[in-house]
Amino acid sequence: MDFISLGIDFHSIRNKNEPRVIELMGDVLAEFPDFAPQRTDIEDIYALTLNMLPARYIQPVSLVIDEPVTDEMIRLMLREAVHTVRYRPNVG
């Protein structure tokens, strides 16, 4: 997909939660030793978690004054996503 419009490259605008979800995902998945997620399960958990969190889009020159999304909130949403994917897998 081309992320350029009106001569502006939008590749550098990112959801600030993305790297935080990736960083915390391994620890949360370790809480479920009897669950062996496949690649698509992990991708679904990642996407679902981001969808449940408030978006925090930033650009390289952004100034972040307050961080309303805590690591514990991300862990909670990751756990909910694991439960959703585990018990209602996306088949088909």
Whether the predicted model's global pTM rises above the 0.85 cut: no
pLDDT in tens, 23-80: 999 999 999 999 999 999 999 999 999 999 998 888 887 766 667 899 999 999 999 9
Could you write out the three-class secondary structure of the chain? CCCEECCEECCCCEECHHHHHHHHHHHHHCCCCCCCCCHHHHHHHHHHHHHHCCCCEECCCCCCCCCCCCHHHHHHHHHHHHHHHHHCCCCC
pLDDT attached to residue 88 = 83
